[in-house]
């Protein structure tokens, strides 16, 4: 065995340190090793910050403790929770030296070789640097421990890091006080065992599968559905009320009972997903707000300050936020689902908004996100969006997919004035007239689509596949539904249209789809707010079906 192999095997994520000081020469040699690590496009985007101040260490420790409590609360298994709480996961105050390893997003403002496929390659370069530092310290008789259980937003604020500097985490450096029986600490403590060998698979052919965008057509269950429909209708009609007197609530109760194939349906783990992305068409002044508002609102969602946050909290709905393609690299955040296709679409005034491969990526990611939600036990998912310029994108999609004049599909969006509305119509009409692409659905979607709209459509198809109730928000979410419906018309069995938007084209689109909205509240905010607001009405439909007395059980005479 070579000396290098020995170093690789003895490198440990260390949590126990002696009180020995770390000589400057050791730190300098280790950081030089980090500097020698691979750096995509020779960007030199990795940044280092040394911490020896007790006050700073104490403040970082408090951030860790706060998130550590939240981490412990993620398991309902008492034994696992106790075992987790007994683990030593940091040595922030004990270690002589603290190191924050970061990467600098601002390098992406210039043409950067190697980042076209993924901006995250600069982050991966920083991880390579961290590993080099770890190996250098190990070779010198010292070690390092990676602390990642932190609120990174607060962590950056505490350290005064600029917005464009993103930390990988906090690293504790010192002389190790234990070799953990020459194995990873978590393995030594029987938390989890590391696989003996790496996972390796050989790919020797090109995949021809088109399963990412396949239509999710349910099996024929006509006879079974007929029986459950008749049983539900009988149950509804024999509640202590005049026939049909609960109106839309009766319609909802029957729809959900048929969907879940039960006469006693219940909503489990309801979840609203907000997909956010930027649009190239926004560069042409079609919105009353600047594009950066997309990024600002996603941050607002993550911090709990938006309308959708308070409505979800009010109604006990879980909220998921997805970066489908925002023109910004968000700091790592456990509350943010990363599905970034690109930093916004291209402007469809000058060419396709996205490539066919990006379209496929959107379908794959939307499917994956909702499949993950279904695995949590959720049977109800609502769809919302955020993206400056996306009413323009939705309007064009409605026009080209339904054959309506663009004038019938364009509204004021975020609140443009009449003059800008006319400008918006003209610029979108030009984009449609200049289209020279194919007449098939996917060609139109790639040319005029938005990342968040396509991911929503894919998510709806996956929700149908999992027999979930689908809550549709306003105009833009309904355009996403239109796309999904064109791929699988059976989607209508799952869909509840929460409200009719104040956006003028929404009612026309609902009529085109043969759909009826539950509420008329002049909403035009987006974010999935309509889904959250309509949720108590859905619950009322199920409560009357499941708990209201029948004529027989109450001893009340039927007509």
The Cα 395–Cα 449 span in angstroms is: 10
Helices (H), 376-513: 390-402, 418-433, 441-448, 451-465, 475-487, 505-513
Spot the catalytic one: 90, 426, 527, 552: 527
What is the bridge-based pairing of β-strands 143-147 and 336-338?
unpaired
Q: Which residues contact 154 (CB under 8 A, 6 or more apart)?
A: 63
Q: Look up residue 41 and give its DSSP letter.
A: G
What is the distance, to the nearest Å, from the Cα of residue 128 to the centroid of all Cα atoms in its chain? 27
Closest to 48 measured CA to CA, from 25, 24, 32: 32
Query: 507 near 409, Cβ under 8 Å?
Result: no
Beta pairing class for 318-325 and 336-338: parallel
Find out whether 459 and 364 touch, Cβ atoms under 8 Å: no
Residues 349 and 194: their CA atoms lie apart, in Å, by: 52
Question: Helix, strand or coil for residue 233?
Answer: helix
**Cα separation of 559 and 550, whole Å?**
13
In 106-162, DSSP assigns E strands to 143-147
Distance (Å, rounded) from C-alpha 138 to C-alpha 175?
Answer: 9
Asked if residue 458 lies in contact with residue 395, where contact means CB atoms within 8 angstroms, the answer is: no
Q: Are 92 and 67 in contact (CB under 8 A)?
A: no
Residue 203: count of CB within 10 angstroms of its CB:
6
Query: In 54-198, at which residue ranges do the beta strands (DSSP E only) sit?
Result: 97-104, 143-147, 165-174
Alpha-carbon span 434 to 265, nearest angstrom: 50
Q: Tokens at residue 524, please?
A: 């035009």
CA dist 26 and 30 (Å) reads 6
The Cα 532–Cα 380 span in angstroms is 11
Q: How far is it, in rounded angstroms, from Cα 61 to Cα 54?
A: 10
CA gap 217, 30 in Å, rounded: 57
Is 527 an annotated catalytic residue?
A: yes
SS3 443: helix
Q: Say if residues 18 and 94 touch (Cβ distance below 8 Å).
A: no
Of the candidates 354, 394, 389, the one whose C-alpha atom is nearest the C-alpha of residue 284 is: 389
Q: Which of 227, 374, 241, 386 is closest to 302 using CA atoms? A: 386
SS3 472: strand
Rg (the chain; Cα; Å): 28
Edge to edge, the sheet with strand 97-104 lists: 46-51, 97-104, 165-174, 143-147
- The catalytic residue positions are 527
């Amino acid at each position: 065995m070579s000396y290098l192999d020995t170093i690789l095997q003895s490198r440990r994520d260390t949590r126990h340190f002696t009180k020995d000081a770390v000589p400057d020469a050791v730190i300098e040699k280790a950081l030089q090793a980090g500097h020698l690590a691979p750096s995509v496009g020779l960007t030199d985007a990795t940044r280092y910050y040394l911490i020896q101040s007790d006050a700073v260490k104490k403040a970082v420790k408090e951030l860790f403790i706060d998130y550590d409590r939240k981490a412990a609360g993620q398991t309902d298994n008492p034994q696992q929770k106790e075992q987790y709480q007994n683990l030593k996961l940091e040595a922030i105050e004990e270690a002589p030296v603290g190191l924050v390893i970061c990467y600098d997003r601002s390098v992406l403002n210039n043409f950067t070789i190697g980042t076209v496929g993924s901006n995250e390659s600069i982050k991966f370069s920083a991880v390579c640097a961290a590993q080099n530092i770890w190996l250098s310290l190990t070779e010198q008789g010292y070690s390092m421990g990676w602390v990642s259980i932190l609120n990174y937003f607060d962590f950056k604020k505490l350290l005064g890091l600029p917005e464009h500097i993103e930390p990988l985490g906090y690293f504790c450096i010192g002389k190790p006080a234990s070799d953990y029986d020459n194995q990873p600490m978590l393995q030594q403590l029987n938390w989890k065992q590391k696989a003996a060998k790496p996972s390796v698979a050989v790919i020797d052919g090109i995949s021809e599968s088109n399963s990412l965008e396949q239509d999710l057509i349910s099996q024929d269950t006509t006879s079974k559905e007929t029986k459950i429909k008749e049983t539900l209708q009988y149950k509804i009609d024999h509640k202590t009320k005049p026939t049909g007197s609960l109106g839309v609530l009766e319609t909802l109760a029957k729809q959900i009972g048929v969907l879940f194939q039960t006469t006693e349906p219940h909503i489990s783990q309801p979840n609203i997903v907000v997909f956010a992305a930027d649009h190239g068409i926004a560069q042409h002044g079609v919105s009353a707000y600047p594009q950066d508002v997309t990024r600002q609102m996603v941050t607002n969602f993550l911090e709990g300050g938006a309308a959708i946050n308070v409505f979800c909290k009010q109604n006990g709905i879980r909220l998921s936020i997805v970066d489908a393609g925002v023109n910004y690299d968000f700091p790592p955040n456990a509350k943010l689902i990363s599905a970034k296709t690109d930093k916004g679409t291209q402007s469809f005034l000058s060419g396709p908004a996205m490539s066919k491969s990006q379209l496929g990526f959107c379908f794959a990611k939307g499917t994956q996100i909702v499949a993950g939600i279904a695995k949590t036990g959720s049977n109800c998912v609502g769809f919302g969006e955020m993206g400056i310029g996306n009413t323009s994108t939705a309007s064009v999609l409605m026009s080209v997919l339904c054959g309506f004049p663009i004038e019938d599909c364009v509204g004021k969006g975020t609140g443009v004035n009449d003059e800008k509305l006319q400008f918006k119509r003209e610029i979108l009409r030009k984009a449609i007239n200049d289209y020279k692409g194919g007449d098939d659905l996917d060609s139109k979607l790639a040319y005029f689509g938005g990342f968040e709209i396509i991911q929503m459509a894919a998510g709806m198809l996956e929700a149908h596949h999992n027999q979930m109730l689908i809550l549709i928000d306003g105009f833009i979410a309904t355009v996403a539904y239109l796309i999904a419906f064109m791929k699988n018309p059976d989607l209508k069995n799952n869909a509840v249209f929460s409200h009719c938007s104040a956006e003028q084209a929404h009612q026309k689109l609902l009529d085109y789809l043969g759909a009826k909205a539950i509420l008329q509240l002049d909403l035009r905010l987006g974010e999935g707010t309509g889904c959250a607001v309509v949720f108590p009405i859905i619950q009322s439909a199920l409560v009357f079906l499941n708990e209201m007395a029948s004529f027989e059980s109450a001893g009340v005479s039927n007509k």
